[in-house]
Amino acid sequence: MNSVAKDPTNIAGAAEDGSLGPSPAIVTRDLNLWYGKFQALKSVSTSIKHGHITSLIGPSGCGKTTLLRCFNRVNERYGGVTTTGEIRVLDKNIYDEDISLSELRKSVGMVFQRPNPLPVSVYENVVFGMRVHTPQNQLKKADIDQAVETSLSEVGLWEDLKDKLKHKATSLQLEQQQKLCIARLLPVKPDIILMDEPCSALDVEGTRAIEELMWELRGRYSIVIVTHNMAQARRASDECIFMLLGELVEHSRTQDLFLTPKDVKTAEYIEGRYG
């Protein structure tokens, strides 16, 4: 199985026949993280399945966004961060010395709370990752054009935007901007998509559209989403991870977690007793 390492030819962890192996998409073992002297994550161990949507839930400050940002090592952009333990993405420890952060972040894409399209055209937004990660002499116009059409089609934007590819991306509606941000990840062929409250800036219709898109992408991609919205977690995920005070309290199928939680703290949070 290939790794998320320097000069990889396939960082998807694929078998020779192109199918994904049985390994989970993400595994953490005894993961701890400190911001300075404050410990934000405490001995987090879990396994996130391939091709599923997994929601991270819990009250503000519980560590769910910190955990999400560990999966592509974005936390390290902030000063004073210390991490111990292990994170395996597609069966490779992302803290190994041979890891290329550029390749890791190709494999593990991220969508943020507010849509953040680049202040350039729709077309250039979609191909941004291709231009960054592919030598210019290997980029052919026909391949770029096809990547734009394929990526926009995959997020349901092609019909709306095929005649507006030269329009500035920041002129789009918020829902379209967020879909475009997802489309921007796809040309570099990620295996995992991280979403940090991707609907927090959207109205009801926009939220519904993004949730529907998540289900359409499910299976082709492993999706991990942070959400404060319990109804959204219940609607739009296969499994849920409940966190509290930096600890992982419970990880189970969404239906089981909401209907028959194993831990009293999970039950109290779902019932609205705190958070």
Taking the C-alpha atoms of residue 42 and residue 33, their distance in angstroms, rounded to an integer, is: 7
**pLDDT of 134 strictly over 90:** no
Q: What is the mean pLDDT of the chain?
A: 90
Given strand 222-226, what is the order of strands in its sheet?
108-111, 192-196, 222-226, 53-57, 239-244, 247-253
Q: Which residue shows structure tokens 């055209």?
A: 121
In order of 60, 150, 259, the CA distances from 63 in angstroms are 8, 35, 24
Q: State the pLDDT at residue 275.
A: 65
End-to-end CA distance of the chain: 42
pTM of the predicted protein model: 0.89
Read off the pLDDT of each residue in 237-257 and give the average, rounded to a whole number.
97
β-sheet bridge partners, residue 26: 48, 89
Read off the pLDDT of each residue in 42-70 and give the average, rounded to a whole number.
97
Report the DSSP pairing between strands 53-57 and 222-226: parallel
Q: Which amino acid is at 57?
A: I
CATH topology of domain 26-115+191-270: Rossmann fold (3.40.50)
In order of 50, 57, 186, 201, the CA distances from 139 in angstroms are 30, 41, 16, 35
Please answer whether residues 262 and 246 qualify as being in contact, where contact means their C-beta atoms are separated by less than 8 angstroms: no
Task: For 193-237, write each residue's pLDDT tens digit.
Answer: 999 999 999 999 999 999 999 999 999 999 999 999 999 999 999
Taking the C-alpha atoms of residue 100 and residue 30, their distance in angstroms, rounded to an integer, is: 23
Q: State the pLDDT at residue 77.
A: 87
Q: Which residue shows structure tokens 């219709």?
A: 205
3-state helix, strand, coil in the chain (%, to 5): 35, 25, 35
Say which DSSP state 36 is in: T
Angle at 209 between CA 208 and CA 210, to 5 degrees: 95
**pLDDT of 80 strictly over 80:** yes
**pLDDT of 36 strictly over 50:** yes
Q: State the pLDDT at residue 23.
A: 78
